[in-house]
């Protein structure tokens, strides 16, 4: 009888611990470039801020840390990530990087290596990772643009990481949704960007 009660109590404790872990507030670290840093926008109108608002509206207990910097490359993100992991201890890391590598015509293998390294260090710090992919404009040449776009899918499949294939889906083909530089989306585009990201992000957030 005593052994039974001991096993029952141990099982109850484990179930309670699992429930608490599942319901505990989560910290989400967004590591991105100007597309996530609200470049040229009023504060609170970018997709990351909209994500935070959506989580609050749906009563999902999560803290968003936006560590995005305009002009950031995969190399810069790779160098900054370890300190950010130590500081914030995120449950989830969203990597939205690569656009500046592409715009500068940097080698695709170098960007891929940096993204893989970021995934590895995030997971070693007990964080889940989601990738946000990007396409380059066609004037960069078909070979380069296809290799660049495919890179995200290859890394995501091999690393078993959730992927948003193209964050500007439904935006890129609409010039009216871009600022005067024709590179950065207007505030009107960011709800669409969030709509592209949300279906991949939510299951990751809800997973244990």
- 143 flagged as catalytic: no
- Active-site residue, from 34, 36, 68, 91: 34
Angstrom distance (rounded) from CA 161 to CA 82:
19
- 181 flagged as catalytic: yes
- Active-site residue, from 23, 42, 143, 181: 181
- 34 flagged as catalytic: yes
- Active-site residue, from 45, 70, 75, 184: 184
Which residues are tagged catalytic?
A: 34, 181, 184
């Amino acid at each position: 009888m005593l052994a039974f009660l001991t096993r029952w109590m141990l099982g109850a404790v484990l179930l309670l611990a699992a429930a608490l872990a599942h319901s505990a507030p989560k910290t989400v670290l967004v590591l991105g470039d100007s597309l996530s840093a609200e470049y040229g926008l009023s504060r609170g109108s970018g997709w990351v801020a909209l994500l935070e608002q959506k989580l609050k509206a749906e009563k999902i207990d999560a803290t968003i840390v936006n560590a995005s910097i305009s002009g950031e490359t995969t190399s810069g993100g790779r160098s900054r990530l370890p300190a950010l992991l130590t500081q914030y201890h995120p449950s989830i890391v969203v990597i939205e990087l690569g656009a500046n590598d592409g715009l500068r015509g940097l080698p695709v293998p170098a960007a891929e290596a940096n993204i893989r390294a970021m995934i590895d260090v995030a997971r070693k710090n007990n964080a889940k990772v989601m990738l946000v992919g990007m396409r380059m404009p066609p004037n960069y040449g078909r070979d380069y643009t296809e290799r660049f776009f495919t890179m995200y899918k290859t890394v995501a499949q091999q690393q078993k990481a959730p992927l948003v294939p193209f964050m500007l889906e439904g935006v890129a083909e609409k010039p009216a949704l871009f600022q005067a530089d024709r590179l950065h989306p207007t505030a009107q585009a960011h709800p669409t960007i969030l709509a592209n990201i949300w279906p991949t992000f939510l299951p990751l957030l809800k997973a244990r």
